[in-house]
Each structure stands twice: as structure tokens, then as C-alpha cells.
Structure 1
Amino acid sequence: MASERPHSRPRRAATAINVEPERLQKLLSRAGAGSRREVEGWIEAGRVTVNGLVAEPGQKVTVTDRIELDGRRLETASAAETVRRVLMYNKPEGEVTTRNDPEGRPTVFDSLPKLKEHRWIAIGRLDINTTGLMLFTTDGELANRLMHPSRQIDREYAVRVFGEVDDAMLQRMHEGVLLEDGIARFSDITSAGGKGINRWFHVTLFEGRNREVRRLWESQGVQVSRLKRVRYGPAFMPSRLSVGRWEELDQRAVDALSKAVDLPFITLPKKTPGELAVHERKQRKQPSHPVKKSRGSKWQVSGTKPPAGKKPARKK
């Protein structure tokens, strides 16, 4: 993974041409019309037509078909190419994982760079009070596989709990606890510091059910006071990525995610789209305090040292 650099050349997006017939909901998801679940709902409600006929669940189409939603043609040309780009975002507390919030709260998408021909798809969700690692991709198939329970992609969280924790409690959560939506368990629980009734743990699970980590701990009579996701499958949150900032994964990291869900790698194109350049400049970090100028010194940025072998010039 490479950190955002304000003046560096943007990375090339991994692309592949796809002209084979595929399920309607899959194609529309890749084209950015909506999530697979949303598209499936439209189809079941009879709102989608293909070449003038009402679409059927599971129907296969290509980008050359005329697809309409409520009589309005949907643009599917972008689905002819699978563009596999992945962003990592350090989500702050107070943001919701949705594109548009009816209550007007800030969303995770507000902080992401804008794309011209594609859209960012969230890989999993975090509730409003949970912070940490979120992944976004332009490839709907990659997102779908990484989220699907059958793929057994593990998620790791750092959690601080308030209350008495004993070995019997940890064993129960490891073996499985019956919640209102079924059995839930941590595949791994590791102590991570703290004393008394305020302790940190790292926990891992293979699902992404709503508030599952919090509900598991609360079932044992303790309260979660801090929760942060630090890993999603092979992707770890780097310490350099501060809260509220994003960076684009390099090709090796994207390939690791693809391999984890048995997707073929995509070869880089010869040209670069250049879509992220302006956003990388906007993400340039500013000094957290005023720059102090040393008298007679050209090394005036606070906290910056002169190169080895050179000393600041002294004013005579």
C-alpha cells in the first residue's frame, strides 16, 4: 500500500474487458446503478425492463442490451470494463456507512475522492460509533465476494470493554453465544492490555452482522466503550493512516484481496486515468501548529532538520 503523495502520479487502475452475458443484478451493480440487493428489489417489483420486456430474477444480459429502470435507461457502458481499484479509509466516529442519510449526518462517502465513470462500493459496514478500517472498491464482484459469509473472510477489531472479564466469559464467546439472530462467536480473542474493569482485547470473527461485536460482549454483561476495526482479511490498517483519511491500495495489495476470494488478477492498462490527482493534492497534510521561523535559517518548516552535512546559515 502506498500513502497518498500530493504531487505523485496517480496509480493505474486495474481493468479487464468483460463482454460475456452475466446476471442482470451483477452487471448493474458493476455499472454503479445500485447494490446487488437494491437491484434485486427493483427486479422483484417489476421496475426493470430489458429490451422492452419486464426483467426476470437471474436473467442474463450484456452491456449491449437496453436496460431501463422505471422507464429511464440505465447507463451500462462502464460495466464493459471491470475496474478494480481499492481504497482504504480510516473511519472516524460519527460517520454513517450510507450514501445518503435522511437525518443529514456525515457519511463515509463524503470524504472519498470522486470518480467520473465508476463509483466506490463499500466492502462491509461499520456502525456510527465504530471507527477504523473500511475498504471501498470499484469492482462489485470483489466487494460481493469479500462480504459473503461463504468466503469466511475474517475481520479483526480492537475493543475496550468496561466491566469484569474472566476466562469463563471468554470461553463462552469463543464457543458461541445465542443472540436474537442466531449463534455468534469470536474465532479468536487476545488480551491487549489494560487493568481492572477497563481492558483491551483483539477479537476476530468471520461475519459482519449488525453490531455483532458489541452484542457479543453485552451478552456477557460488559459494555464496549471503544471499538475499532484494524484488519479485513489480508488488509491491515497502517499506523500512518490517520483518522478521516484514505489511501489507495497498490497492485500487490489488490491482488492479495483478489486471491483471498478466488478472483483472477487484472493486468494494469498502459495509460493512467488521472482521476485522483486533484484529490491527492487536497489531502496534503498541513502543519498542526504555526510554522516558526528561525532567525537567518532557510530550514524554516517546524520540525524539519537540515540535510546531513549542512548547517543553517547564521545571520551576521
Structure 2
Amino acid sequence: MRERRAPQRQNGRTKPGAAESKRVTLPRALSKLGYCSRTQAEKLIADGRVTVNGRTVLDSAAWIDLSSATIAVDGSDVAAEPMTYLMLNKPRGLVTTRHDPEGRPTVFDCLKDVDTPHLSPVGRLDKASEGLLLFTNDTVFAQALLDPVTHVTKTYHVQVDRVMEPDMLAEMAYGVRHDGELLKATAATLLRQGERNSWIEVELDEGRNRQIRRMLEALGTECLRLVRVAIGDLKLGDLPKGAVRALTEAELKALRRRAGMETTKRTR
């Protein structure tokens, strides 16, 4: 008879094994239910706003069984929400946050007609950047797309203030240093050029802060426009600026495959 292994203990608590796949930490449970991110959940728990089976839980490391536990926030039960996956053609001038302390317009101004709560952007585009931005309440999916290990590529079309020479494009692919940090594009190619400026296509498989703008700055080049046109196999296409649409089943399946996820979920 095969010996049954005892559950491992971690920091004085029982860590669930493979047979206990429904057991997760409380912040993870709130995240899996689509209520909020794990970081937001930890704050709710610390503030005493979360109960499990009627009892307040203040320990973010507590394990619960998702198949049987009743979780509530501020007295209201938390139920699993349908998973929602949206794409936005972000206009220039919007900040990627839900609430801006400076009162600037945000990407959520484009989602006013979307009634799904707890949507979050998958990554960011800075205020001056445009193009494809994903939103979802599926935190596992979002984390898989953003995980550096999965290397899901992002493609950008970039207008620069000069004729881009082949050796400069080669440098971007080879790697340039900015403020002591090595920044590298997966690929950099010329799309078209005029007498004084060029459009180039840049592909990244990592998401460092202002990476393309910093690479160009290191090469003495100014970025005039930056538009994200694809994430993995998902293309921005002809979606109008400021418009939002749901991902198709095929698009979602392709993204999940790119992110190394084995199963698919239905879109809303």
C-alpha cells in the first residue's frame, strides 16, 4: 500500500497538499473569487473587515476551504463573479489607475458603461502612451500574463524624432544601458520613415518602467508617439480610440496558452 504523506507544515500552519486544491490562504481566496487583489485583500483583513463563517479573521496567512467556507466583507457575502476579459484602445492623456489623487482623467473613464466590479488593468501604459490595454477580474490570468517567466511579448509602434539607422535598431536588440540598467528589446525593426522622423516596431518580453522611452533616450532619440498594438497574439486591430470590447473565446484561449495556462474560462 502506498504510504500517505502527512501535510507539510509551514510557519506553524498546515500547508495544503495536492489533494487539498480547494484550500488557499484567505487573500488568495478573495483574489480567486474576483473580489480584489491579494494586496487589497490583506488590507481588508488587517482592518477587520473580513469574516469566514461568521468569525472575523485578522490573519492573512490563514488557510480556508473555498468549497465550504462562507467569506464576507463588511457583512456582505462574497460570491464568485463571472470572469470578465476586456480590451481597451487607450487614448493618450489617460493615467492607468482607478482613482488619481491629482484629479486627472483615468482609463476607467472609458469603462463607465461596464457593470463588472473589481476590474483591474493588466499592467500599465503611461499617460503619454496609447493602445492595447487589458482589464480583467481574473487575477490568476493577469499574474500569468505579467510574470517575467512566461515572456508574453508586447508589440509597440513607436514614432521617433529622427531617421532610425540600422545600427541603432541593432543596439536596441543587443541592449543599451540607462541609469545603470541594461534594457533590451526582443526585436526592433523599421516600419517606415520620412525625412525627419521614423516609425519603428519594438517587441518586448519584459515590462520595465518606461522601457522603450528610456532605451531611446540612451540612444539620443526622442519618442514622439508610442502605441501598443499587440499582446502575444492579441492585436489591437481597428478598435477605435477609447472603445472597449470583450475578448473572444479564441483570443482568450491563445493568451492563456501563451501564458502557460492549461485551462480556459468562459468570457462574459
Give yes or no for TM over 0.5. yes
1:195, CA displacement in angstroms? Answer: 2.2
| TM-aligned CA distance change 1:67 to 1:245, over 3 Å | same
TM-score, normalised to structure 2, is 0.79
Q: 2:248 aligns to what?
A: 250
Q: 1:227 aligns to what?
A: 226
> Structure 2: which amino acid aligns with 1:115?
D
1:67, CA displacement in angstroms? Answer: 5.6
> Does 2:58 correspond to 1:54?
yes
Counterpart CA distance in 2 for 1:266 and 1:242 is 27
Counterpart CA distance in 2 for 1:163 and 1:74 is 57
Query: What runs of 5+ residues in structure 1 fail to find an aligned partner?
Result: 1-18, 274-316
| Matched ranges for 1:61-140 at <5 A | 61-63=64-66, 64-65=68-69, 72-73=74-75, 75-78=77-80, 83-112=82-111, 113-116=113-116, 118-140=117-139
1:176, CA displacement in angstroms? Answer: 1.5
1:167, CA displacement in angstroms? Answer: 2.9
Counterpart CA distance in 2 for 1:175 and 1:98 is 33
1:257, CA displacement in angstroms? Answer: 1.4
> Does 2:149 correspond to 1:153?
no
Counterpart CA distance in 2 for 1:177 and 1:262 is 29
| TM-aligned CA distance change 1:181 to 1:257, over 3 Å | farther
1:149, CA displacement in angstroms? Answer: 1.1
| Matched ranges for 1:1-316 at <5 A | 20-40=22-42, 42=43, 46-47=46-47, 51-57=55-61, 59-63=62-66, 64-65=68-69, 72-73=74-75, 75-78=77-80, 83-112=82-111, 113-116=113-116, 118-180=117-179, 182-239=181-238, 241-266=239-264, 268=266
Deviations 1:178-200 (A, max 9, x none): 33373210100110101233000
* Native 8 Å contact 1:66 1:73 kept in 2: no
> Structure 1: which amino acid aligns with 2:31?
S
Structure ranking higher on relative contact order (CA contacts 8 Å, 6+ apart)? 1
Runs of 4 or more consecutive aligned structure 1 residues displaced over 6 Å after TM superposition = none
1:205, CA displacement in angstroms? Answer: 0.5
1:47, CA displacement in angstroms? Answer: 3.7
Deviations 1:217-237 (A, max 9, x none): 111110000100000112111
SS in 1 for 2:149: helix
Query: What runs of 5+ residues in structure 2 fail to find an aligned partner?
Result: 1-20
Counterpart CA distance in 2 for 1:216 and 1:267 is 37
Deviations 1:19-74 (A, max 9, x none): 8122333322344443334445x38x9446664343144x43344546677xx457
* Native 8 Å contact 2:86 2:134 kept in 1: yes
> Structure 2: which amino acid aligns with 1:52?
T
1:177, CA displacement in angstroms? Answer: 1.9
Counterpart CA distance in 2 for 1:134 and 1:153 is 14
* Native 8 Å contact 2:34 2:83 kept in 1: no
Counterpart CA distance in 2 for 1:171 and 1:268 is 41
| TM-aligned CA distance change 1:267 to 1:213, over 3 Å | closer
Counterpart CA distance in 2 for 1:266 and 1:134 is 20
> Structure 2: which amino acid aligns with 1:114?
V
TM-score, normalised to structure 1, is 0.68
| TM-aligned CA distance change 1:260 to 1:86, over 3 Å | same
How many residues align structurally?
A: 242
- Computing the radius of gyration over CA atoms, which structure comes out larger, 1 or 2? 1
Q: Percent identity?
A: 32
Counterpart CA distance in 2 for 1:185 and 1:200 is 18
Counterpart CA distance in 1 for 2:38 and 2:142 is 10
* Native 8 Å contact 1:88 1:248 kept in 2: yes
